[in-house]
Structure 1
């Protein structure tokens, strides 16, 4: 098995994370990820109330006795959800791992830490990761430009972002964005990460709750079939190409305020895509890693395949390169 600081700190078998995804991080998927030996996250705000979240946590526990966590995404809003109540539901349910995202989690950390909860904070830049370390998170998940959802405004891809973060941080780093197979896992470890986070790849599994039409579209798509919206609003999001995202980009190109496109990007419309399979009902998130996704396996098969193939790459092809180089050096000295 691939053992890293991350697997040791969080008590999982494999350095693979299924991060929180709105409308996707539900009990069936998270339990399957946990049972595979990886770390899965329920998405708190997918549930309509803190009480519903507590029930979803209990439902997940009926399917697995292995570690899993809850994602709590904290964003500024005119009518914010009751974050403190969701946080308390997490604590009262005995969850031991939380993934935070969005705003700085500093106001939530004392409560989570007092409850013995380890916190992974999702960041899109080295400067934000350093700040997260300073306020006391246990690990960071660092999102490269390739990721689905919000990649930040710096446009730094993982090949640069991961080692740049590893150079500056002492806490474990989870590499996120553009990773869908064993090659990405091995590359991330080589760049200094202690594990990888996958969203798009886990969306496209048997246990994922999204509609089959969405899964099949991810398989059909290439790495070029995403688009960036909200660029002009400085709130960039990467979503799948479809009629709605094209309309949003067209409106933005002429200059707009958020109110001009709000009706197109409403969360309820994206939820309809995932639940009903109407691919043009709204915008829906997918990363450039969709170009690497070519099947819809059970979660356990996916994780096992990734780990075995990663081990084969490390002990086989890469090791043979080192051996060949050593042999050449010996020959040269002789």
Structure 2
């Protein structure tokens, strides 16, 4: 086993986290991750209401006795999101680990701390990581440019961003973006991180609630088949490259394009349908460059055991063998 500041602080066996992927981070996947000794996060906003989140937490508890958390993403929305009610459910349900993302969670930190909840905040820059540490989060995850979803606007890849963050903060640091195997885990530890987050890789597991055709697509695709959309609106989003995303990029290049012009193409309901229908070409859906490292569709237990075992071998054998007397 690998013991780090992250595993010791959060009471989990392995320094691996399953990210809170919207539509995918549901009980069947999160419980499997928890049972493997890693840390899984339910996506709160995947659930239509706070009551639905409570039911999903209870469903997860029926499948695992191990620790798991809830991801809560704070983003502007056309319809106001009842964040206080979601937090009420998280506290009432006895959840002890929350991953926050999007806007600064400072307004909710007192409630989390009073309830004894540890907070991991997701950042895309060192300056945001420092601010998160200042407001009292217990750990920071840092998203390199390779990541799925929203990598920020600085375009700094993990090889630079992770050690910069490690040099700058004192709380546990989790590396995110481009991780899919033992080599990535060992590299992240060498760069100064205390663990890794994987999203795309966990999507291609047997327990992930996605259509088999989506999982097969992840195996078939390579690292070049992602696209950055919404760049012109300063809301960059890394997604799987398909006919629809190319249409979005083409519209963004046209003079005078406004967000309402692309909104129907990037609608969340359309992206959600991809995971249930398997029609990967007919929606905008998040995926990272790590899809180029996805070669199979194992169970979560097989995946985590393989990564941890191979990481131990890499450290004990390959890296040790490079030393000279």
Give the TM-score range, shorter chain.
over 0.9
Q: Which structure has the larger Rg over C-alpha atoms? A: 1
**Moved >6 Å (runs of 4+):** none
- Write out per-residue CA displacement over residues 80-135 of structure 1, whole angstroms, 9 at most, x where no aligned residue: 21011001100000000000000000011110110000000000000000000000
- Map 1:63-82; keep pairs closer than 5 Å: 63-82=63-82
Give the Å deviation of 1:281.
2.2
- Write out per-residue CA displacement over residues 6-50 of structure 1, whole angstroms, 9 at most, x where no aligned residue: 001101000000010000010000000000000000000000110
Give the Å deviation of 1:77.
2.1
- Write out per-residue CA displacement over residues 274-332 of structure 1, whole angstroms, 9 at most, x where no aligned residue: 1111112210111000000000000000000000000000000000112xx22xxxxxx
SS of the residue corresponding to residue 270 of structure 1 reads: helix
Q: How far apart, CA to CA, are the structure 2 residues paired with 1:202 and 1:167?
A: 29
Q: How many residues align?
A: 324
- Map 1:1-334; keep pairs closer than 5 Å: 1-255=1-255, 256-322=257-323, 325-326=324-325
Q: How far apart, CA to CA, are the structure 2 residues paired with 1:9 and 1:31?
A: 20
SS of the residue corresponding to residue 30 of structure 1 reads: helix
Give the Å deviation of 1:138.
0.2
Q: How far apart, CA to CA, are the structure 2 residues paired with 1:273 and 1:79?
A: 23
Q: How far apart, CA to CA, are the structure 2 residues paired with 1:212 and 1:285?
A: 16
SS of the residue corresponding to residue 150 of structure 2 reads: coil
- Write out per-residue CA displacement over residues 44-99 of structure 1, whole angstroms, 9 at most, x where no aligned residue: 00001100100100010000000000000000123221011001100000000000
SS of the residue corresponding to residue 41 of structure 1 reads: strand
Q: TM-score, normalised by structure 1?
A: 0.96
Q: How far apart, CA to CA, are the structure 2 residues paired with 1:115 and 1:304?
A: 33
SS of the residue corresponding to residue 108 of structure 1 reads: helix
- Please, which runs of 5 or more residues in structure 1 have no aligned partner? 327-334
- Write out per-residue CA displacement over residues 242-262 of structure 1, whole angstroms, 9 at most, x where no aligned residue: 111000000001131111100
Q: How far apart, CA to CA, are the structure 2 residues paired with 1:146 and 1:199?
A: 12
SS of the residue corresponding to residue 127 of structure 2 reads: helix
SS of the residue corresponding to residue 87 of structure 2 reads: helix
Give the Å deviation of 1:220.
0.3
SS of the residue corresponding to residue 72 of structure 1 reads: strand
Q: How far apart, CA to CA, are the structure 1 residues paired with 2:123 and 2:80?
A: 21
SS of the residue corresponding to residue 232 of structure 1 reads: helix
1:331 alignment counterpart: none
Q: How far apart, CA to CA, are the structure 2 residues paired with 1:280 and 1:291?
A: 18
Give the Å deviation of 1:266.
0.3
